[in-house]
A and B are shown apart, each in its own frame.
Chain A
């Protein structure tokens, strides 16, 4: 299974995602330039975190017009895997590949801290190795992660995959770091091949960084792809 990490001007987690796939998982990976119009030799495309186009206008609002986003939509439509992390998630929302929108954090401040995520859906390509209700410790680092969505729109186009929770999995207001509706931290499209989340699994993929809970997302993707077989 081959990974691609998209580089937008202002992306800043692309090297971290590359490192995760290349050094931690030991899988083939290459960078994809924002002006590329095709995703050749890529089975799973990662839209990394950062501040694409400086977050000008609105996080993700300019990046969604990048030439590569047409290819990403096509890839998703053809059943290819797409993972949007933080700014990558925001871009997926702006591009309409996932429902909803982001507001400023309730604190009106950037927040960098560990959070706990309860896995709500183990049927997606990126969570199939999780147990239902499993709790993952993964850090967030964002200023605009306050997720909002029209419930009907969500029901029609998406599935909730992660919610901010306590360490024991209880979903409480106190566990919600940014004001997100219903503690939503990540979601998938109905097909489960496109997943976006605000927390950064690439930062919790090695013991030396404080934990390895984040690995399961990409390990799930690899398993999914192997079971599905080459298309």
Chain B
């Protein structure tokens, strides 16, 4: 019975209920229990992840704001800063893909806006089950349409991302959205309810009944057969209102009257009030009758838990409320006083003159339970490479075409063509290369961003997989001409109440932390998404790294496509016999087995330093990270992306390394970069590589029309670039057509 076990209805355990009673010193009433249940949900409290997240390095010379705020902020110098953050919206998207993805984008945009920043770019990282299943195609199409709908209408370009399809994401797709924004350093706003007596305003859309229990029942539980019934827990977005909210917030920011701003996302008013108060060590007293509503008859419980979108909590300077309200009215929005900041640390909720809830802000936030959940290391399949027949030379060309046309390696044009990736007129490097680059309008440089994560690697070897994700993100920025600076991470995992999942989680974090320290890229915040389990099936541990880097000069932007025939092609880094966890192993042998390729972090740092120095010295015409699909796929992609007259290559891979044909062509050894340089620059580049202690070999030249790969005089691949391009570009449209 509900009365006997009141904790169950709000997603708490009996033990947690007892803790709540102790903190309050009495039995919570129905509303108070709801607030506590919501704020102590995994999604809001990080009760399971907290102890491990603390291991991630989060400080660095340029970090102005680390974890704990609505977004991280790094210094760009001369009074400008960059706010950025990634968040998941997995479970809502599994149930209602269009709205789920759209509100994920809306939420991350508001996180950036609350910092006082103007959003300049969105990236998204997506995972689905195999596209042969109609349900997965429906989810994929809906998610892409949702991201596009929100970002396009809002007017923030979606400039990059990644998509992978694996059976483990069946029924539990991942939708992670990252946003970057620019803010004057002096104008950075934080989510803090400072100054007792200051008015608390609710701005934006009126409050309705949508999204109630999104955070606690949707995001903090695994899926079962009844998942569909939770559709009412999914929020409904309105990008038009989101855009108006942006404009009003930016205008209000410039008045200097904003003390603190917080997004109303997961857990709505409850979360926004308790977090802003807790961060500032204050309290908030709310008059619920003042909350503008979309419909009559809402209970205090519904008002406090609603996740209606396009709302912001604003703490204003006393006396500034009328100016702020006028700005919002000009944009057709309401900004209404719904309470005051108090000094005593309590969240008080009044309705109809009656106190309906009274809970310490700290009890809802800092004093939430913290768990050290048990772990158990898992055995994962190990590849016996010696027992695996090597690729026959006569099959090399066919396999290259097959890989180029596989769902995980094929062109993402079908996706990014649906996104406005140009609005804002900053996009200097468009989607389709290793990273996206946005130029700064008021100074010479720009910012690069990339999202990366390989769930298969992380499942096979969590610690290594975590490090590989960080290294690859950094490499993607480096080859695009940027110096990696900092990252935000979205940690998508299964059910943490299972010891194996906790082991995966801790290992991944420790691996990421090692790589972050080696590469000098602190973590400025992020998001944890647990309970990605459907009917007992857990997803691969999927940490997604959203990394940002800086370019001092926008002329350093480097693309993967070849620029001109005759350029010399040089491979940096050694190729080892690495097939574990790779795309080829899965496609050719039906095997998901490890370990994934080992990562030497010192070698990684050296190869990236070399690449960046060569780009800055003007030696590099094209550069491409060599990862998924290996060297052959990387080379073919550079030809396919090549400019007029430079869409081909002729290389001899004999000196590239790898004792087998399959590892040479398709092995995914990290810390490798393919460069194309002008003939006159080749010698200088090889000399520079020697100085950096990086293995570098000249493989051949850029040509036009054909992709020719040889090995010591033997021709392995001789394919028309146009055919490879057709396989690569045609794959996703063809798969999505069913």
Contact = CB atoms under 8 A, between A and B. Distances in A.
Contacts of B152: 51, 110, 141, 143
B417 A54 contact: no
Interface stretch (B395-403, B419-427, B564-572, B588-596): B419-427
Given A10-B240, A53-B240, A112 B155 contact: no
Nearest to A10: B240
Given A54-B153, A110-B418, A111-B418, A208 B423 contact: no
A77 B648 CA distance: 55
Given A139-B422, A141-B152, A51 B416 contact: no
Contact of A112 (B149, B153, B419, B441): B419
A56 to B, nearest CB: 7
Interface string A91-124: 0000000000000000001111100000000000
B423 A16 contact: yes
A208 B417 contact: no
A41 B521 CA distance: 51
Contacts of B439: 208-209
B239 interface: yes
A111 B240 CA distance: 19
Interface string B230-243: 00000000111101
B239 A51 contact: yes
Nearest to B246: A12
Interface stretch (A155-163, A182-190, A198-206): A198-206
B425 A51 contact: no
B720 interface: no
A53 B331 CA distance: 11
B422 A10 contact: no
B148 interface: yes
Contacts of A16: 423-425
B425 A19 contact: yes
Interface residues of A, number: 32
A51 B240 contact: yes
A67 interface: no
Interface residues of B, number: 31
A13 interface: yes
A10 B153 CA distance: 7
Interface in B226-268: 238-241, 243-244
A200 B422 contact: yes
Contacts of A209: 422, 425, 427-428, 439
B431 to A, nearest CB: 9
Given A51-B240, A53-B240, A210-B430, A12 B154 contact: yes
Given A10-B240, A56-B240, A208-B428, A110 B155 contact: no
A149 B734 CA distance: 33
A33 to B, nearest CB: 9
Contact of B155 (A12, A19, A23, A111): A12
Nearest to A7: B247
A143 B239 CA distance: 15
Given A141-B422, A209-B427, A19 B154 contact: no
Interface string B650-672: 00000000000000000000000
Contacts of A110: 148-149, 152, 418-420
B332 interface: yes
Contacts of B423: 12-13, 16, 49, 141, 203
B346 to A, nearest CB: 39
Given A110-B148, A209-B439, 14 more contacts: A9-B331, A9-B332, A10-B153, A23-B441, A49-B423, A51-B239, A54-B238, A54-B241, A110-B420, A141-B422, A206-B425, A208-B428, A209-B422, A210-B430
26 contacts: A9-B332, A10-B243, A12-B153, A13-B155, A20-B425, A51-B239, A51-B243, A53-B240, A54-B239, A55-B153, A55-B240, A56-B240, A110-B148, A110-B420, A112-B420, A112-B421, A113-B417, A139-B422, A141-B422, A202-B425, A203-B423, A205-B425, A209-B425, A209-B428, A209-B439, A210-B430
